[in-house]
Structure 1
C-alpha cells in the first residue's frame, strides 16, 4: 500500500532515495521538505489532500531546518503562519554577516 502511495510522486522528486525504504510516517519531514522545495503542484495537492493534510504539513514545516525562501513564503501563506515562526527562518536569519574591511 505504501509503495503505491509513493509511486504517485513525480519521478524526479526522490531520485536519491530508495522508495522501498521510505516510510510515509517516519520520513514525513523529508517528504514534506522535498515536495515544498522541489515538487510539482500535483505533488503538493497529493500530500495536502491525501497523505498528510494541511495541519500536519504545517507542524512538520514549522520544524524543518531548511527551506528555499519561496517555499517558506508559500507554506507560510497557505497556513497563515508568520514566517518568523518557522525554524528555518530563524536559522537562516541567525547567520552572522560577512565582515566588511
Structure 2
C-alpha cells in the first residue's frame, strides 16, 4: 500500500435517484456535478451527508456554489437549507438565470 493512500468511502446512495444512469459504468469522479445536483434536487439531509462523506464537504459546497449550471428554485432553497452558509446571490445556478424564466417540458 502506498503511503497516505486512504480507502475511499463507498458510494452509499439509493440507486433510485439515478434511475436514468448506469451506475456501474459511471465515472463517479467525472460525474460529480450531475450526482450532487440530483441529490440536492431529490434527496434529504441524510443523502447530502453521504455525498459529503464520499466527495468531501469542500467539493460538494464548491460544486453547488460555483459549478452547477442549473437548479430549479426549490432545489436552490433546499441547498441553502443543507448549507446555511450558502448565499443564493453567490450561486452560479441562481446568477446564471435569476432573471430568465424557464419552462418545464
**Length-normalised TM-score, structure 1:** 0.75
1:90 to 66, 73, 95: 95
Pairwise CA distance, 1:80: 0.7
Partner of 1:81: 86
Computed over aligned residues only, the root mean square deviation of the Cα atoms, in angstroms, reads 2.3
Partner of 1:11: 15
- Tell whether the 8 Å contact from 2:69 to 2:93 is kept in structure 1 after alignment: yes
Pairwise CA distance, 1:95: 1.3
Give the total of aligned pairs: 93
- How has the CA–CA distance of structure 1 residues 29 and 20 changed in structure 2, closer, same or farther, with 3 Å as cutoff? same
Structure with greater helix percent: 1
| Unpaired runs of at least 5, structure 2 | 1-6
- Tell whether the 8 Å contact from 1:65 to 1:91 is kept in structure 2 after alignment: yes
2:62 to 59, 64, 86: 59
2:41 to 37, 43, 46: 37
Pairwise CA distance, 1:39: 1.9
Q: Distance in 1 between matches of 2:93 and 2:18?
A: 21
- Tell whether the 8 Å contact from 1:10 to 1:39 is kept in structure 2 after alignment: no
